[in-house]
Amino acid sequence: MTGPGAPIQDEAARRPQVRVLLPYHLRTLAQVQGEFEIEVAAPVTVRSILDALEALYPMLRGTIRDQVTLERRPFLRFFACEEDLSHDSPDAPLPEAVATGKEPLLILGAIAGG
């Protein structure tokens, strides 16, 4: 492949499309419907997904993780492929199925409160 635009297109093509499902209140805040896809820089990790998510939807900054410490908010959990990934390192590679878009990363709020 030749031409000045080719490398950029190749780079874009390689960038994984990750599926994300936010809790209801964050979907409302970000004004997104249901599950959606975002481009994430490889390697696909919780951190890289949240980085991409917050870049695309700045209003989500601070609502999933602390803006300074980047620690997950205590009443939120990360699930994928029927596994609770909340206590894994945010830099741990996510399952291949998430990285390839076959399975979504689920960000869930605790079922608690009134």
Partner 1 sequence: MSQVRVLAGTRKGAFILTSDGKRNHWEVSGPHFAGWEIYHVKGSPVDPNRLYASQSSGWFGQVIQTSNDGGLTWAPAGNQFTYKGVPGTHQWYDGTPHPWEFKRVWHLEPSLTDPETVYAGVEDAALFRSADGGKNWEELEGLRQHGTGPRWQPGAGGMCLHTILLDPTNPDRIYIAISAAGAFRTDDAGLTWKPINKGLVSNFIPEPTAEVGHCVHHVALHPTRPQVLFMQKHWDVMRSDDAGDNWREVSGNLPTDFGFAIDVHAHEPETLYVVPIKSDSEHFPPEGKLRVYRSRTGGNEWEPLTRGLPQQDCYVNVLRDAMAVDRLDECGIYFGTTGGQVYASPDAGDSWTPIVRDLPAVLSVEVQTLP
| Residues contributing to the site for partner 1 (CB under 8 A) | 23-26, 28-29, 58-59, 61-64, 67-68, 73, 75-76, 109-110, 113
CA–CA separation, 62 vs 51, rounded Å?
A: 12
CB of 48 to partner 1, least distance (A): 21
* Amino acid (one-letter) located at 9: Q
CB nearer to partner 1: pick between 4 and 74? 74
For residue 93, give the 3-state DSSP assignment: strand
CB of 68 to partner 1, least distance (A): 6
CB nearer to partner 1: pick between 47 and 61? 61
Say if CB 67 and CB 25 are below 8 A apart: no
